[in-house]
Amino acid sequence: MTKKNSEKMWLFMAVVEESIVPDILNGLLELEVKGATIINSQGMGRTIASEFPIFAGLMNELKGSKPYNKTIFAAVDDIDLPDKLQELLLEIDLDFTQPNTGVMFMLPIVRAKGTKFDFKDNDIKES
Q: What is the tens place of the pLDDT at every residue in 6-47?
A: 478 999 999 988 889 999 999 999 999 988 999 999 877 667
* Amino acid identity at 109: I
Three-point CA angle 95, 72, 77, nearest 5° = 90
Mean pLDDT of the chain: 78
44-90 pLDDT tens trace: 766 776 666 665 555 555 555 566 789 999 999 899 999 999 999 99
Q: Note the pLDDT of residue 4.
A: 39
CA distance 42 to 63: 14
CA 35 to chain centre: 13
Q: Which residues contact 72 (CB under 8 A, 6 or more apart)?
A: 11, 12, 13, 15, 21, 24, 25, 28, 36, 37, 38
Question: pLDDT band for position 5 (50/70/90)?
Answer: very low
Q: Which residues contact 124 (CB under 8 A, 6 or more apart)?
A: 2, 3, 5, 8, 117, 118
